[in-house]
Amino acid sequence: MLIDKTEISKHREISKAVKDSKINPFIEDAELLDLKPLLGNKMYFDLVANKTEANYVKLLDGGSFDVGEIEYSFVGLKKILSIFVDARYKLFGSATDTPFGLVEKSNQDSQPVSIATKKDIYTKNRQIAYQYFSDVKLFLDNNKTDYPLWKTDCKQRVTGGFRISKIS
Protein backbone atom coordinates (compact mmCIF):
# COMPACT_ATOMS: atom_id res chain seq x y z
CA MET A 1 0.00 0.00 0.00
CA LEU A 2 1.14 3.53 -0.75
CA ILE A 3 -0.24 5.04 2.48
CA ASP A 4 -1.33 3.96 5.95
CA LYS A 5 -3.56 5.26 8.75
CA THR A 6 -0.81 7.58 10.01
CA GLU A 7 -0.57 9.25 6.59
CA ILE A 8 -4.35 9.67 6.41
CA SER A 9 -4.36 11.35 9.84
CA LYS A 10 -1.96 14.00 8.51
CA HIS A 11 -4.62 15.13 6.02
CA ARG A 12 -8.00 14.19 7.49
CA GLU A 13 -9.43 13.60 10.94
CA ILE A 14 -9.56 9.91 11.79
CA SER A 15 -9.98 8.30 15.19
CA LYS A 16 -6.90 6.77 16.79
CA ALA A 17 -9.11 3.84 17.77
CA VAL A 18 -9.65 2.79 14.13
CA LYS A 19 -7.83 -0.49 13.65
CA ASP A 20 -5.59 -1.08 10.67
CA SER A 21 -7.71 -4.11 9.81
CA LYS A 22 -10.72 -1.77 9.47
CA ILE A 23 -9.07 1.03 7.40
CA ASN A 24 -6.72 -1.03 5.19
CA PRO A 25 -9.46 -2.39 2.90
CA PHE A 26 -10.55 1.21 2.21
CA ILE A 27 -6.93 2.12 1.37
CA GLU A 28 -6.71 -0.81 -1.04
CA ASP A 29 -10.05 0.13 -2.65
CA ALA A 30 -9.02 3.77 -3.05
CA GLU A 31 -5.71 2.78 -4.64
CA LEU A 32 -7.26 0.36 -7.11
CA LEU A 33 -10.58 2.06 -7.84
CA ASP A 34 -9.70 5.76 -7.55
CA LEU A 35 -5.97 6.23 -8.14
CA LYS A 36 -5.18 3.51 -10.68
CA PRO A 37 -7.69 4.82 -13.28
CA LEU A 38 -6.16 8.30 -12.97
CA LEU A 39 -2.58 7.11 -13.49
CA GLY A 40 -3.20 4.19 -15.81
CA ASN A 41 -2.27 0.57 -15.15
CA LYS A 42 1.35 0.78 -16.24
CA MET A 43 2.21 3.88 -14.25
CA TYR A 44 0.25 2.76 -11.19
CA PHE A 45 1.96 -0.63 -10.96
CA ASP A 46 5.37 0.91 -11.66
CA LEU A 47 4.72 3.43 -8.86
CA VAL A 48 3.79 0.66 -6.43
CA ALA A 49 6.88 -1.37 -7.36
CA ASN A 50 9.28 1.61 -7.29
CA LYS A 51 7.76 4.01 -4.74
CA THR A 52 11.17 4.78 -3.18
CA GLU A 53 12.69 6.09 -6.43
CA ALA A 54 13.27 9.85 -6.33
CA ASN A 55 10.81 10.73 -9.09
CA TYR A 56 8.04 8.72 -7.43
CA VAL A 57 8.86 10.10 -3.97
CA LYS A 58 8.25 13.59 -5.34
CA LEU A 59 5.03 12.46 -6.98
CA LEU A 60 3.83 10.92 -3.72
CA ASP A 61 4.93 13.76 -1.42
CA GLY A 62 4.25 16.73 -3.67
CA GLY A 63 6.41 19.73 -4.33
CA SER A 64 6.87 22.54 -6.77
CA PHE A 65 7.79 22.80 -10.45
CA ASP A 66 8.26 25.51 -13.03
CA VAL A 67 6.39 26.02 -16.27
CA GLY A 68 7.99 28.89 -18.11
CA GLU A 69 8.49 31.62 -15.52
CA ILE A 70 5.67 30.48 -13.25
CA GLU A 71 6.25 28.26 -10.22
CA TYR A 72 3.46 25.81 -9.44
CA SER A 73 2.99 23.50 -6.48
CA PHE A 74 1.07 20.28 -6.00
CA VAL A 75 0.12 18.29 -2.91
CA GLY A 76 1.20 14.84 -4.01
CA LEU A 77 -0.57 11.53 -4.34
CA LYS A 78 -0.39 10.67 -0.64
CA LYS A 79 -2.74 13.51 0.25
CA ILE A 80 -5.03 12.79 -2.69
CA LEU A 81 -5.18 9.12 -1.79
CA SER A 82 -5.83 10.01 1.87
CA ILE A 83 -8.84 12.09 0.80
CA PHE A 84 -10.17 9.27 -1.39
CA VAL A 85 -9.78 6.84 1.54
CA ASP A 86 -11.48 9.26 3.91
CA ALA A 87 -14.42 9.58 1.51
CA ARG A 88 -14.83 5.82 1.32
CA TYR A 89 -14.34 5.30 5.05
CA LYS A 90 -16.82 7.99 6.06
CA LEU A 91 -19.50 6.53 3.77
CA PHE A 92 -18.97 2.82 4.40
CA GLY A 93 -16.84 2.51 7.56
CA SER A 94 -19.44 2.84 10.31
CA ALA A 95 -21.18 -0.43 9.55
CA THR A 96 -20.18 -3.40 11.69
CA ASP A 97 -20.78 -7.00 10.75
CA THR A 98 -22.23 -9.01 13.64
CA PRO A 99 -23.70 -12.52 13.93
CA PHE A 100 -27.10 -10.79 13.74
CA GLY A 101 -26.37 -8.85 10.56
CA LEU A 102 -24.91 -5.51 9.58
CA VAL A 103 -25.40 -2.84 12.27
CA GLU A 104 -24.45 0.74 12.96
CA LYS A 105 -23.60 1.21 16.61
CA SER A 106 -24.93 4.08 18.71
CA ASN A 107 -25.14 4.98 22.37
CA GLN A 108 -27.00 7.40 24.61
CA ASP A 109 -24.48 10.20 24.02
CA SER A 110 -24.41 10.08 20.22
CA GLN A 111 -26.35 9.14 17.15
CA PRO A 112 -25.17 7.96 13.73
CA VAL A 113 -24.76 10.50 10.95
CA SER A 114 -27.51 10.29 8.34
CA ILE A 115 -26.81 8.52 5.04
CA ALA A 116 -27.50 11.80 3.22
CA THR A 117 -24.77 13.55 5.23
CA LYS A 118 -22.37 10.67 4.59
CA LYS A 119 -23.06 10.85 0.85
CA ASP A 120 -22.46 14.62 0.89
CA ILE A 121 -19.12 14.15 2.66
CA TYR A 122 -18.20 11.37 0.22
CA THR A 123 -19.04 13.53 -2.80
CA LYS A 124 -17.26 16.63 -1.50
CA ASN A 125 -14.11 14.70 -0.58
CA ARG A 126 -13.97 13.10 -4.01
CA GLN A 127 -14.40 16.50 -5.68
CA ILE A 128 -11.54 17.87 -3.55
CA ALA A 129 -9.30 14.92 -4.43
CA TYR A 130 -9.98 15.33 -8.16
CA GLN A 131 -9.24 19.06 -7.92
CA TYR A 132 -5.92 18.33 -6.22
CA PHE A 133 -5.19 15.75 -8.92
CA SER A 134 -5.55 18.42 -11.59
CA ASP A 135 -2.34 19.98 -10.19
CA VAL A 136 -0.62 16.57 -10.24
CA LYS A 137 -1.74 16.15 -13.84
CA LEU A 138 -0.19 19.52 -14.71
CA PHE A 139 3.04 18.39 -13.02
CA LEU A 140 3.07 15.10 -14.93
CA ASP A 141 2.21 16.76 -18.25
CA ASN A 142 5.20 19.09 -17.79
CA ASN A 143 7.62 16.37 -16.65
CA LYS A 144 6.94 13.61 -19.18
CA THR A 145 10.63 12.70 -19.48
CA ASP A 146 10.72 11.78 -15.76
CA TYR A 147 7.41 9.90 -16.02
CA PRO A 148 7.45 8.09 -19.38
CA LEU A 149 4.53 5.83 -18.38
CA TRP A 150 2.21 8.82 -17.85
CA LYS A 151 -0.72 8.72 -20.27
CA THR A 152 0.35 5.48 -21.89
CA ASP A 153 -2.85 3.65 -20.99
CA CYS A 154 -4.95 5.76 -18.66
CA LYS A 155 -8.47 6.85 -19.36
CA GLN A 156 -9.15 10.06 -17.50
CA ARG A 157 -12.69 10.46 -16.31
CA VAL A 158 -14.37 13.81 -16.18
CA THR A 159 -15.83 14.06 -12.70
CA GLY A 160 -17.02 16.58 -10.21
CA GLY A 161 -19.36 18.36 -12.63
CA PHE A 162 -23.05 18.95 -12.45
CA ARG A 163 -25.57 16.60 -13.98
CA ILE A 164 -28.91 18.03 -15.00
CA SER A 165 -31.80 15.70 -15.61
CA LYS A 166 -35.19 16.47 -17.03
CA ILE A 167 -38.13 14.93 -15.27
CA SER A 168 -41.16 14.43 -17.50
Dump pLDDT digits (tens) for 99-117: 777 777 677 777 778 889 9
Average pLDDT over the chain, rounded to an integer: 89
DSSP, res 31 = I
Determine the Cα–Cα distance for residues 34 and 126; give it in Å rounded to an integer.
Answer: 9
Cα 14–Cα 17–Cα 23 angle in degrees, nearest 5: 60
pLDDT digit string, tens, across residues 130-151: 999 999 999 999 999 999 999 8
How many whole angstroms separate alpha carbon 127 and alpha carbon 122?
A: 9
Q: How many helices (H) and strands (E) does the chain have?
A: 7, 4
Q: Tally Cβ neighbours within 10 Å of residue 112.
A: 12
Q: pLDDT at position 43, please? A: 97
Cα 129 to Cα 154: distance, rounded to the nearest angstrom: 17
Contact present, 84 and 126 (Cβ < 8 Å): yes
User: Does residue 45 register a pLDDT over 80?
Assistant: yes
Distances (CA, A) of 70 to 65, 67, 106, 144: 8, 5, 52, 18
Mean per-residue pLDDT for 59-76? 96
For the chain, state the CA radius of gyration: 18
